[in-house]
Amino acid sequence: MFYKAAENKVIIKGTAMEYVEFGYGSRPLIILPGLGDGLRTVHGQAVNLAFYYRIFAPFYRVYIFSRKNQLEEGCTTKDMAEDLWLALEQLRPWKTEKIYLMGISQGGMIAQHFAIAHPDFVEKLVLGVTAPGQNETLKKAVAGWMEMAGKGDYRSLMIDTSEKTYSLKTLKKYRLLYPLLCRLGKPEDFSRFLIQAEACLTHDACEELPRISCPVLILGGDEDKIVGTNAAPEMADKIKQSKLIIYEGLGHGAYEETKDFNRQVLDFLNGSASEEKG
């Protein structure tokens, strides 16, 4: 039943924002993917995304949103959060007043700003392998990718992203696929990726995180080579109603490498607010 996923779009500010919709629960779960969205939107990925997030389908109506197709130069993660708000204002297909929101990596940066700006609209928030603001690890990783993208070097971008994302155990399998990976999915140009990457470098929600009032689940890896190992604990320190889970021996790819990730998210979303750690 989770395969019955639909691809849709909403028009905001004169451009399309694409999303995938599936699930047969009554509660709306909004999922925001990471920086890879700058290379490829959710268009054409409905079945794969519905399968990957199938654990949520019985409980939620799931919406996985890309960023706008046409992003303005200088667009920030805060701007992207407001784009999402405009999209949801148009859609509002659910009967409940609040949403459940999950952001992965850059999606988590956007989700932070959304929850800060619209506290009465978010029931629960999940922040996966993301950061509250800048650190040297994040700046080095993203700046390197921007340099590769600026040169149109898709092969190096894909390999470096994989090497920084996954554990050695997973890399031993993925490295065999590099020749194929580096040929598939190359965008016509990298402008959308570069705008989103720059937004990662300018993201800063550190001072505003205490304003998040809903229960929050924060998940990270203790070997994250992209957002750094201190990002998740730093967010947990700043958000009052937060629960922190750190995966040992995993990095930025923890959300893919452990089957426990989506289960932890589901348990958090389905649990009562009183069960979360304050």
Kindly provide the b/e burial profile for residues 223-239, where b requires at least 16 CB atoms within 10 angstroms of the residue's own CB.
bbbbbbbebbebbbebb
Asked if residue 121 has pLDDT above 80, the reply is yes
Q: What percent of the chain has pLDDT over 90?
A: 85
Taking only the tens place, the pLDDT of each residue in 194-221 is 999 999 999 999 999 999 999 999 999 9
Residue 96 has what pLDDT? Answer: 60
Rounded to two decimals, the pTM is 0.94
pLDDT band at 234 (very low <50, low <70, confident <90, very high): very high
User: Tokens in use for 278?
Assistant: 């304050």
Q: Is 196 helix (H, G, I), strand (E, B) or coil?
A: helix
What Rg do the C-alpha atoms of the chain give, in angstroms? 17
- Residues with Cβ within 8 Å of residue 136, at least 6 apart in sequence: 228
Short-list 254, 252, 216, 260, CA closest to 237: 216
Domains and CATH numbers, the chain: 6-275 (3.40.50.1820)
**pLDDT tens readout for residues 242-268:** 999 999 999 999 999 998 999 999 999
Q: φ and ψ at 238, to 5 degrees?
A: -95, -20
**Mean pLDDT to the nearest integer, 166-180:** 86
